[in-house]
Every structure is written in structure tokens, then in C-alpha cells.
Structure 1
């Protein structure tokens, strides 16, 4: 019988050029930061079993971790070292399994079962905490990107009865009429007009859908014009301002007198404070994960600080609403931010405890119709299963 002994691991942080990443079709290209590649070097010696006098084989393997967005302080590197040590031990255990260890099968089965239970518990808890926020984003698309049926959309919305606002990005897939058909008396739609080049026709579509509902425009909390247009570089502040003004006028002609806003990233609004004057309230998206330096348990205090910062930057008495926030459950680590269901639970719990009445959660389900994105997280922000 042979066994493997872990002798050495080390980390070699290397600063490399920053890479931009896209945060799905309804998201921004986040501000770039320097990246670190952490290289895990593991040396494994395969030795004969007890009673044998000589080692038989020397093997050395090298494994590279995912890239990170910023050079980390020594305390963080130490923490990441512990994580890598755990990963190395897992790899050794996997090697033992493949070599026919009599214990490996039962260990693997037990670990898988425990992981599944923990994952299910985290999912259940995270939805309970998310319901303490002001609202949630919803996309009416199947895993393949086609439209969900009316029955499925309505069933989905009935699951979201605890949220005051349901945010959609465009009047696609007859989602507006289907959402309004089943949402409760306590709920309102946060409607969206996503495409600059189809604002006129999308306003017509939105108006027809709203007017066909029993609530009419009273069932609409706000209408957003675009999503992160300035941050993405697609349009200038003046173009966004003109689009919002035009949409506000067209919506007024249709009988709507509620809020009209432009939603952009918090960073984009801070850097372009003219956007503060465009909207009827300050509507921004802010994800602690994409900062790269925020642990999940600090997500609430992070957003509380960001809200205070945007108040200060805009210098106005307008209300601030975070229109997207959350935490991914799968993908690559970004700085100190690690995607997992457990971390999603921790982050959302922290967020609602600090600023629950000022945020909309992102998002209802995993969006498998999207590309994975630079860090492989874009599909995995879903709160419900």
C-alpha cells in the first residue's frame, strides 16, 4: 500500500495588467483594478507503505489559481494560503481515491452529502433574508434565452409576493401584463426601457400592457430608461439625459405621472454628477462583490457607506435606491470576494440588516441564458431555485 505526503506549498503573487469584465447584458463593465495571479506550487512525494525502507517515486505538480484584481496585504495572503492548503489536501485525498484507498469512497460520499445539505439550507435562508429588502429583479427568460410562458411568469411572480417592487429591464415576453396580473395589492412594478434605439416602440408596448391591467399606471412604481449606459460607455451623459427627458414626456402623454429614472452604477454617477439631475430619484446599481476588497459579512456596511457617498456627491435631497445588489454563488474569486451559496447568504443577511429598505436584490433565478463573463459569475446571482 502506498500513501502520499504533502511536503510543500508556496505562493508567488505576480502583478499583471488589469482585464475588464462584463457583468451580463443588463450589467456594467466594472471599473478595472490591477490583478494578481496566485501560483500554488505543491510538491508531493509518493512513498512506500510502512515497513519499506525506500521511497519509490518523487512527483512535483504545479497548479495556478484564478486571477485576482488587486495586490493583497500580507494578512489576506495568509488567509488565502490557508484556503489553498485546504485545496491541496483535497487534491491529495482525490489522489488517494484514484489509487484505491479503502476509505476514499466513504469520505467522498459523506462530504458530498454534507455539502448538498448545507447548500440547500443556505438557499432557503437566503431567500428568507432577501425578502426583507425592498424588491427584486426578475428576467422572463428560459435557460436557453427564449421567453417563458405566461403561466411560468405568473407562477414565478407569485413566489415573490413578499417584495414590494418587481424590477424588469424591458417589456419583453409579455412580462409586464403577466406580472401585473398576479402581483399583490402591496406590490408595484419597476418597469424598464432597455434599448435606446427602440424607446418609442417600447413605451407603446409598456403602455398597452399597463393599461390592460386592473391597476393601470397606479401599479407602476417607476420606469427606468436604460441600465448602466454611461458606465458601459454606450452613451454620454447628455445622450442619457435627452433620452430620459423624451421618455418622461412620452410616458406623460400615456397618462403616467410617476418616477422616471436613469439607472447607472454608483461609480458612474459619482464620476458624472450631472446624472443626479436626470432622474426623479437617484437610482444606482452597487455590488460589494465587484469592489474586490469587501468580504461578504461587510456588504451591508459597504453599501451604507456608498449610499452616504452618493448623497454627498449629488448634493441633493433626492432619495437613493440601490436597484441591484447581491452576491454570486459560483465562479472565480475576485480579490477577497469568493462566490458561494454560503457567502451569498452572509452578504444578503448583512445587506438587509443595514440597508434593507434601500435596496433591490439581484436576482430571482440564476440566468443560465447569459455568458459566463470574465470571472465566470454572470449566470449565478439567483436567490431562488
Structure 2
């Protein structure tokens, strides 16, 4: 009795220690903004949770925009918009005047000539009627990047807009810096060059700690290319949530530090700067995954700041609750193993079995708090919520079931127990249930794994949910005896090979700098070896 109690105490202490370390606030750089000082400009879109540009009936009330601009007027001098005709956006210049803001008026250019015409006319009208508020018109945003128009087409749009807006209103075009570099003649058609420098989205992603230096290098490079031309950094920032790209990690602390360091650099170098973006835009998750909806430094739901200038930021502010939940779950794993052992009778569990239970309890307890926090952030649409619900359900059930299996000294189960009852007469009900959990887990892991192999760019690494499931089966398989039913083990063998290949590919594709990919890929490999043991260790007796 002393051994499981000591192990349970040790596991709980380890879980609390890890969460305490994770939850420590990350020091912030020196505050870049003096008291009362405001940001030069921020990107603004009025979409709130549940609203999307993909909905034909989307509309923004003046009260909604007025509330947003009232909040932004306290922290910035200027807002950048991206469209002139989306329902309600025509009110932005007038409401901006009310709150003492200026506007970089956006005109959305895409492939649809009818919509383009309406956008151009709407942008020209906004500039003509509000020359005291609209300081510049941005004709097109990353159109070359999307391949929807040519540089000559954009130059034509710029010429038309320039001829019709008041002389005090500048005209420009905005795109990623590489596309300006490839289309240098376009600079002749603008009053100033608007470049986007987003280290996270570079073809070779830049880690947060190197992003500001990278921005400075690119800004100087662009300045040399377009010598004598004013440069506006039209978009730059860092996401607070989402999957890593190589060594680039989205997190609240990284976002806070990058933005503050960017502002410090811009002030030191006298760079014109627009930060993306004001409020989180949940709808962007449809296009860019979880990370796309978390570029705002103001929360989409509370409309408040995610961080304060110069103050430390915790990436896990609710770590104490997560540690408590994990510790309670770990205790439940030990309790279930002990209860199952007593019910089964026979000799008490030995050190080897209790160490396996301890391994299950540690990984399950460590990850369950992270999983419960990540599911609402990473689940999108019906499919996403079904997957999130399945992850939570299996992450709770599998560790408890595997702990009970160790307590009962359940032999190794195979998929045949779950899928072909006629071939496994007399198998205990518990064994069939455990096999069903194994089958469900394989399906879920396969869905996640294939997504990361064939379409990985915007897919999250579901390591928080996969860890309790896969490690529980691995510890159970490490101590369980060979099973009685060995027919039809080809499925386990094939699945093992596929998961082994997927694990290696995910890790290598994302490079060794991406710890999320390494963790997830390692889980696939662990599952592969677990399935291999299930396929090869059984024998009929």
C-alpha cells in the first residue's frame, strides 16, 4: 500500500511543479509607450465572434463600430481598414472623426471586376467626403500574393484612384515585401510603399526572439530598394495562439514581447508602422487555422487588452486550476488501478505494474488541464467540435481503462476483440470495451495524423489530447501478458507502419526546432510500437 501512495504523491507533486513552471509570468521588455502615448496605427475590422465576411447577410451597426473606435481611440491615433463597401464600413470615417482618429482607407481588390468597381467607387467617395480624416487610400491588399491581379492591373487602379481623390490624400498599395521586391516598377504608381513584414508567416518562419531583428533587416532592405520613397510597414505583429511553424511559437508572452519590441525599434528608427491587429478575428480561423484568429492584441470577446505595457505575461494564467485538475485525475487513475486489482483478486500489483500506472497518471494528469483549455480555442465548426469532444472523452476514458486493465492483469487486447466477436468467443466484456477504446483511438489518431501529413500548414498539433491516450496504451502494453486471441492482427501491423511513417514525416517536415511537431511525431511513433507489440506478442493458449 505504501508504494502506490508514494508514487501517487510523487506524480501529483511533479504535475504541480511542471504547471507552476509553465505558469510563471514571462518578463516583458521595457515599456515602449510612455504614459498617455498611443500607437501610430492599427488594423481594424469590425467582425465580432459569429460574424464573417463569408456571410452574405453580415452587417455592422454604427453602434458596434462606434464602440470599437471609442476603445481604439484610447490607444491609437489611426485605424487601417480593408474594405470600403462591406455593410456598415462606410460609417468608419465619420465615426473616426468623432473619436479623433485618422483612417487608412482600404479598397479590397480581388478577381471579381464588379465588386472591384464597387470597392473603388466606395473608397474614392470616402476620401472625397472625408479628406480631413482619410489620410491615405490603400488600393488592394496582397493581391499579387493571391495571384488575383497583375502588377499592371493594380497600377491602373492606382492611377484611377489617384486622379479622383483630393490632393491631400495619398494613394498606395499593400503587399508582402517579397512581392514588392519582384514588382519594383509598381512604386512609380504610389505615393508611398506599404509593405507587410510578418516574421511568423515567412517562407522560413522566424522565431519570436529573432523577429524584431528580422523586421529591421527587411525594412532596411526595402528602404534600399525604394530609396527616396517613404515606406509604411503596413502589417506586422505576432499571434497569441495556434500551432508552431518550425521555431515560431504563438503565445501570449511572445505576442506581448514582439509587439513591444517592434514599437521600440520603430521609435528608435523612425519607422512608419501599423500593427496587425486591433481585435482578434475568429473568422480568420476558417482560412488560417487557430493561429489566424489570434493576431489581435485585444480579445475578441472581452474587447480588452491581452497584456499591459511593460508587465510580465503568463502563457498559462490558470495554471493552478489546471494543476489541481491534473492532480485529481492522477489520483483517480491510481484509485481505479487499486480498485480493479482488489476486485480481480490474486496477488497484489508489483512495482513494475505500479510504475506503469504512475506513468499513465503522470502524462494524463499533466495534459488534461492543457486539453480542456485548448479544445475551445482549437475547435472550429461541427467537425472540429466533434474531434475536440472525442479527444476529451478518450483522454479521460483511456487512462482510467488502461489503469483498470493493469489492475485486473488484462491480457493484451487486439482489434479483433472489438471488430469480430465471432472470432473471439468467451472474451471478457471488459476486454472488448478496452479493444473498442483502442479502435476509436486509432481512428482519431489517424484523422489527426493524416491531416498533419497531407495538409499540415494550418493544422494544430493535438498533443495535449493525444498524450493521455497514446501513453496510457503504451504503459498498459508494456506490462500486460500476451493475449489469448491472435487472429486477424494484420490491422495492427499496417497501422503500426503507417503511424511510424507519419511520426517521422511530421517531425522532419517541421524541422527539429518545432517542439510541438516533435512531441506529436513521437506520440505517433510510440503508438506504432504499441500496436506492433499488440500484433506480435499475442499467442493462442
The reply to whether TM is greater than 0.5 is: yes
**Do the aligned residues in 2 keep the contact of 1:138 with 1:363 (CA within 8 Å)?**
yes
Q: 1:174 corresponds to which residue?
A: 88
Q: How much does 1:296 deviate?
A: 2.0
Task: Return closer, same or farther for 1:266/1:185 CA change in 2, 3 Å cut-off.
Answer: same
Q: 1:163 corresponds to which residue?
A: 76
Q: Does 1:272 pair with 2:178?
A: no
Any gaps of 5 or more consecutive residues in structure 1? 3-47, 52-95
Q: 1:301 corresponds to which residue?
A: 213
**Do the aligned residues in 1 keep the contact of 2:142 with 2:174 (CA within 8 Å)?**
yes
Q: How much does 1:256 deviate?
A: 5.7
Q: Does 1:369 pair with 2:288?
A: no
Return the match for 1:135 from 41, 58, 66: 41
> What is the SS of the residue equivalent to 1:304?
helix
Task: Return closer, same or farther for 1:287/1:201 CA change in 2, 3 Å cut-off.
Answer: same
Which one has a bigger Cα radius of gyration? 2
Q: How much does 1:339 deviate?
A: 0.3
Q: How much does 1:101 deviate?
A: 6.1
Q: How much does 1:207 deviate?
A: 4.8
**Do the aligned residues in 2 keep the contact of 1:297 with 1:350 (CA within 8 Å)?**
no
> What is the SS of the residue equivalent to 2:181?
helix
**Do the aligned residues in 2 keep the contact of 1:227 with 1:264 (CA within 8 Å)?**
yes
Q: 1:14 corresponds to which residue?
A: none
Q: How much does 1:295 deviate?
A: 2.9
Once residues 154 and 126 of structure 2 are traced to their aligned partners in structure 1, the CA distance between those partners, rounded to angstroms, is 25
**Do the aligned residues in 1 keep the contact of 2:60 with 2:88 (CA within 8 Å)?**
no
**Do the aligned residues in 2 keep the contact of 1:141 with 1:147 (CA within 8 Å)?**
no
Q: 2:65 corresponds to which residue?
A: 153
**Do the aligned residues in 1 keep the contact of 2:139 with 2:172 (CA within 8 Å)?**
yes
Q: 1:327 corresponds to which residue?
A: 238
Once residues 13 and 136 of structure 2 are traced to their aligned partners in structure 1, the CA distance between those partners, rounded to angstroms, is 55
Task: Return closer, same or farther for 1:320/1:49 CA change in 2, 3 Å cut-off.
Answer: same
Q: How much does 1:246 deviate?
A: 2.0
Task: Return closer, same or farther for 1:246/1:208 CA change in 2, 3 Å cut-off.
Answer: closer
Task: Return closer, same or farther for 1:107/1:241 CA change in 2, 3 Å cut-off.
Answer: same
Structure in which a larger fraction of residues adopt helix? 2
CA RMSD in angstroms comes to 3.5
Q: Does 1:236 pair with 2:150?
A: yes
Once residues 142 and 126 of structure 1 are traced to their aligned partners in structure 2, the CA distance between those partners, rounded to angstroms, is 29
Q: 1:199 corresponds to which residue?
A: 116
Within 5 Å, which residues of 2 pair with 1:210-359? Answer: 216-249=130-163, 251-252=164-165, 255=166, 257-291=168-202, 292-314=204-226, 316-356=227-267, 357-359=271-273
Task: Return closer, same or farther for 1:372/1:327 CA change in 2, 3 Å cut-off.
Answer: farther
Once residues 249 and 281 of structure 2 are traced to their aligned partners in structure 1, the CA distance between those partners, rounded to angstroms, is 19
**Do the aligned residues in 2 keep the contact of 1:153 with 1:179 (CA within 8 Å)?**
no
Q: How much does 1:272 deviate?
A: 1.8
**Do the aligned residues in 2 keep the contact of 1:217 with 1:256 (CA within 8 Å)?**
no
Q: How much does 1:49 deviate?
A: 4.6
Task: Return closer, same or farther for 1:333/1:126 CA change in 2, 3 Å cut-off.
Answer: farther
Task: Return closer, same or farther for 1:179/1:151 CA change in 2, 3 Å cut-off.
Answer: farther
Structure in which a larger fraction of residues adopt strand? 1
> What is the SS of the residue equivalent to 1:377?
helix
- Deviation string 1:223-251 (CA, Å, 9 cap, x unpaired) is 011101112222211111112112222x3
Q: How much does 1:182 deviate?
A: 4.2
Q: Does 1:187 pair with 2:101?
A: yes
> What is the SS of the residue equivalent to 2:131?
helix
> What is the SS of the residue equivalent to 2:153?
helix
Task: Give TM-score scaled by structure 2 length.
Answer: 0.46
Task: Return closer, same or farther for 1:110/1:233 CA change in 2, 3 Å cut-off.
Answer: same
Any gaps of 5 or more consecutive residues in structure 2? 53-57, 300-541
**Do the aligned residues in 1 keep the contact of 2:38 with 2:77 (CA within 8 Å)?**
no
Task: Give TM-score scaled by structure 1 length.
Answer: 0.63
Task: Return closer, same or farther for 1:354/1:245 CA change in 2, 3 Å cut-off.
Answer: same
Q: 1:60 corresponds to which residue?
A: none
Q: How much does 1:201 deviate?
A: 2.2
Task: Return closer, same or farther for 1:369/1:112 CA change in 2, 3 Å cut-off.
Answer: farther
Once residues 288 and 226 of structure 1 are traced to their aligned partners in structure 2, the CA distance between those partners, rounded to angstroms, is 21
**Do the aligned residues in 2 keep the contact of 1:126 with 1:383 (CA within 8 Å)?**
no
